[in-house]
Amino acid sequence: MSDLFSDANHAQPGVEILDSGVVLLHGFALQQSEALKREINKIDQQSPYRQLTTPGGLKMSVTTTSCGDLGWHSDEYGYRYVRRDPISDLPWPKMPDSFLQLASCAAAKAGFDHYKPDACLINRYMPGNKMSLHQDKNELDFSAPIVSVSLGLPAVFMFGGLRRSDPVSKLLLHHGDVLVWGGPARLRFHGVMSLGQGHDPAWGSQRINLTFRKAG
């Protein structure tokens, strides 16, 4: 980590340090959003969004797909990263260079150099879809940050502490915002409130979130 974190909260315009290890890059992905959309549509054609089942037998409301060497899967046997899309039994779509570039550039701006994620989860929220409070702890490397890119409709993001019972803060994420979670924030509980109704001229009635991780 660089000394960005020990600095005041306005080190660079558009860079907001929300907490130790939590950096919000306002509108960081805005200029690339049309290019991202084309890549996301290609990935969806190869490995379509699907509703995953939790080990407890509940269906997630959000639909998910992945790209990169590892993709996210859950079923009655548990949560895990897998090398092949269980629907097609083919490798996940390759991580587009533009995704890698965006993630590593965002991580560097937040003080994490040489970030090379091997997994990108793509979550699709329709109005009413949500993600309950959880930790991301199936990755092998907690020293690498998680980079998350918000596209389409705005959503209220929840972030708690290291224990489920810790108080939760809320944050409104807009189209193009990029959040970097690393170091002491990497294992914080987090979730997304039920998506409100709305319509974005370019994205329609949905929110798409790219989450980059170093999983393997």
Q: Which stretch binds ligand MD3 (CB under 6 A): 10-18, 53-61, 102-110, 179-187?
A: 179-187
Contacts (CB under 5 A) with Fe ion, residues 128-187: 136
Contact partner at residue 146 from Fe ion, ligand MD3, none, CB < 5 to 8 Å by partner kind: ligand MD3
We find the least distance from the C-beta atom of residue 188 to Fe ion, in angstroms, to be 10
Q: What is d(CA 181, CA 204) in angstroms, rounded to the nearest whole number?
A: 28
The amino acid sitting at 175 is H
In the chain, alpha helices (H)? 33-46, 97-109
Q: How far apart (Å, rounded) are the C-alpha atoms in residues 94 and 74?
A: 20
**73 is a contact residue toward ligand MD3 (CB under 6 A):** no
Q: How far is the CB of 190 from ligand MD3 (least distance, A)?
A: 4
Residue 44 labeled ligand binder:
no
The dihedral formed by the CA atoms of 50, 61, 26 and 169, expressed in degrees to the nearest 10: -150
Output the smallest distance, CB 106 to ligand MD3, in A: 12
Radius of gyration of the chain (CA): 16
**Structure-token pair, residue 58:** 């509940």
Pick one of 15, 73, 209, 214: the residue that binds ligand MD3 (CB under 6 A): 209
Query: Which 90-129 positions form the footprint of ligand MD3 (CB under 6 A)?
Result: 121, 123
> Is 134 one of the annotated binding-site residues?
yes
Please list, in sequence order, all residues whose beta carbon lies within 8 angstroms of the beta carbon of residue 168, skipping any fewer than 6 positions away.
Answer: 133, 158, 159, 160, 189
Stretch touching ligand MD3 by CB under 6 A, among 23-31, 51-59, 111-119, 185-193: 185-193
Q: Which two tokens stand for residue 153?
A: 């409709």
Residues that bind ligand MD3 (CB under 6 A): 121, 123, 131, 136, 146, 148, 159, 179, 181, 185-186, 188, 190, 192, 209, 211
